[in-house]
Chain A
Amino acid sequence: MEKYLKCTFLLATLVMGSVLYGQADINPKENRAAMILEQLKNPSGDYILAVSHRGDWRHAPENSLPAIQRCIDLGVDIVEIDVRLTKDGHLVAMHDKTLDRTTDGKGKVRELTLDEIRAFRLKNACGVRGSRIPVPTLEEIMELTKDRIMVNLDKVEGETVREAYEILKKTGTVKQAIFKGRETVQAMRKKYGDLMDSIIYMPILIDNTKNPAQFVQDYNADLSPLAYEVTFDSEDSENFKQISKLREEGIFVLNIALWDDLVAGHTDEMSLLEGPDASWGWLVERGANGIMTDRPEELLIYLKQKGLRNP
């Protein structure tokens, strides 16, 4: 299976590479991330983006470099990672506030220094210690992903957009990272001012978004975001109604197939129980341009079968 995928992707990469080589002086590697950004800017019905949650955590520890590398190897478009600030001001990839669940260490990220955190090792997804893999910094992640895949940064909007932006500038990856957040455009402007114009920002419509139509209207008027993350617990929800409106305006819609209340039950899990048409297919039919998944390998196979991976 893995071999099959590798062959397919190798082939896909080769084909894409040769097409891109047709254009003078363009590095095909560079164009992988650029191609993805182009899809965000101009979403097409023939190419649905695969977004992998916390890297491919079924393959390697969540938010680890091997989990991200695996997404690159699979041909995932965007890898979502969680970023937190250490006591001494470094950004590291960590979902929880503490190290307890995912590493063999203990304590809060913000109460430990980078050196202290680097001494621990990540556990695998059955909680077993014995791995050699350390907690990566955002800088390492951006170096690994540069030109190869886009990165979606979670847990930054409240406090660390500035720090993250500095890393992106340093690594030359400002155009390859997507920030996101649930706050209104007014709140984000107040907090970050002009910096909002320098980053790629994806507003999130979540269950407690007050007046989703207004939220979208205000964002569109001020920032013209490339994309929105839209979650909905039912088809009757106001958030769900925004999807068709966004699509009419040519704005990219990302759905989150992880849990029931984010996609009215049309989850990854449903794709296993009832078949992918019932979940991922359902989302695409209703306007999704991208799907965030915990099963990137299976999602990519499905999208290819359906002819939804033709850039």
Chain B
Amino acid sequence: MGTLGACRQEVGTPGQTEETPFVGESAGESTSITDLIANLKDSRNKEIIVVAHRGDWRNAPENSLQAIENCITMGVDMVEIDIRETKDGQLILMHDETVDRTTTGTGKVADLTWAYLQTLYLRDGIGHKTPHQIPTLKEALQLCKGNILVNLDKSYPIFDKCFNVIEETGTQEQVVIKGAIPYDRVKEEFGPYLDKVFFMPIIRLHEPHAKDIVDTYLDSLQPVAFEFTVPQDTLKMIEYFDDIRARGSSVWVNALWPRHNGGHDDEKAAMDPTVYDWFLDNHIDMIQTDRPKLLLEYLRDKNRHK
């Protein structure tokens, strides 16, 4: 796998981003899904995995097909989307419990029918109606298939149903599920799926038994990655990230909000991209962001992304 990492670096030249004058065109070399999966499985290489939160929600409605497509075009590695089930069993993309904020309709997803939801339009970031509509999980996975990894948030409690769609669309190898639960419980609740999709434990770094939970996982499941919540950048456990990667699991930290990363967040990085140095300096190799374009530019400059 180390070879792959080296190979990627040779291909990705630092000058690429500057030669790309137009919006919507990929600034990097096109990466096959095989490469993306191999990179996900390889915790030791230098290539950083960029995860876009709710898709490219700045330029298309969050959790819309267009927001996913923009990510694919940009060269994002993984898109995070939120899954909910309608009253009549349809699986759709929707972050909130209600459709009020992001669509032209109102009500709880769980109380609404798919027939009704299909009459709604998604809103943009300032609340205005767009021509985009609510996608189903199936549509989203069909779009992701062969193009981009996908993290299904909020899917854990409805995973049996989600997995049917994953199988149907043939996207098993591309799907990541996360949960803030210890190994014993995951094994019990999620056991049959553990060798079918990627399960990533979420660890709150400031909690007293964080290290024990991590070690148990490393000795048993050997997850593809851990997501760490890092409220303060002084936490001792941060020094453990390097070891965790050496032992075969990647380290995912969100750049989204200050409490995820001890204040080294996207909003700060928008003013000064060297804020992202903290992630590289601390051996973090998966970063979920609200600024995929900025982060990709930063990483490509550093030769840490194709």
Chain A positions within 8 Å of B, measured between CB atoms, are 1-4, 7, 53-54, 57-60, 62, 66, 95, 101, 124-133, 258-259, 269, 273, 294, 297-298, 301
Contact = CB atoms under 8 A, between A and B. Distances in A.
Contacts of B95: 126
A125 B57 contact: yes
Interface string B99-139: 00100000000000000000000001111111100000000
19 contacts: A1-B22, A2-B294, A4-B17, A4-B20, A4-B21, A54-B126, A58-B58, A66-B270, A101-B127, A124-B267, A125-B126, A126-B53, A128-B257, A130-B265, A131-B267, A259-B129, A294-B124, A301-B21, A301-B22
B99 to A, nearest CB: 13
Given A124-B267, A126-B54, 9 more contacts: A1-B297, A4-B17, A59-B270, A66-B270, A95-B126, A126-B53, A127-B101, A130-B267, A269-B130
B253 interface: no
Secondary structure at the B interface, as helix, strand, loop or mixed, is: loop
Contacts, number: 80
A298 B22 CA distance: 8
Given A54-B126, A57-B126, A258-B128, A130 B258 contact: yes
Nearest to A127: B101
B27 interface: yes
Contacts of B27: 1
The 5 A-B residue pairs with the shortest CB-CB distance, nearest first, are A125-B125, A130-B257, A58-B58, A126-B57, A126-B62
Given A58-B58, A66-B271, A126-B57, A3 B297 contact: yes
Contacts of A301: 21-23
A122 to B, nearest CB: 10
Nearest to A69: B271
B293 A2 contact: yes
Interface in B257-306: 257-259, 265, 267, 270-271, 290, 293-294, 297
B50 interface: no
A297 B24 CA distance: 12
B18 A4 contact: yes
Nearest to B59: A58
Nearest to B21: A4
Given A59-B58, A124-B290, A297 B23 contact: yes
A102 B57 CA distance: 16
A57 B125 contact: yes
Given A126-B57, A126-B290, A132-B267, A1 B125 contact: no
B150 interface: no
Secondary structure at the A interface, as helix, strand, loop or mixed, is: loop
B224 interface: no
Contacts of A62: 125-126
B127 A1 contact: no
B17 A3 contact: yes
B256 interface: yes
B188 to A, nearest CB: 33
B27 to A, nearest CB: 7
A130 B259 contact: yes
B222 to A, nearest CB: 32
B128 A259 contact: yes
Interface string B194-223: 000000000000000000000000000000
A95 B126 CA distance: 10
Interface string B55-90: 001110010000000000000000000000000000
A25 B167 CA distance: 72
A130 B257 CA distance: 6
A130 B256 contact: yes
A301 B23 CA distance: 9
A212 B195 CA distance: 69
A2 B297 contact: yes
A303 B189 CA distance: 56
B224 to A, nearest CB: 26
Nearest to B17: A3
Contacts of B125: 57-58, 62, 124-126
A101 B123 CA distance: 13
Contacts of A131: 267
A273 B265 CA distance: 33
Interface string B21-33: 1110001000000
A125 B96 CA distance: 14
Contacts of B58: 58-59, 125
Contacts of B267: 60, 124, 130-133
Interface string B4-22: 0000000000000110111
Nearest to B127: A101
B17 A1 contact: yes
Nearest to A63: B126
Nearest to A259: B128
B17 to A, nearest CB: 6
Contacts of A58: 58-59, 125
A259 B129 CA distance: 9
A4 B18 CA distance: 6
Contact of A294 (B53, B126, B259, B294): B126
A58 B23 CA distance: 14
Contacts of A59: 58, 270
A301 B21 CA distance: 9
Instruction: Count chain A CB atoms within 10 A of each CB in B58, B258, B259, B270 and give the residue with the most.
Output: B58
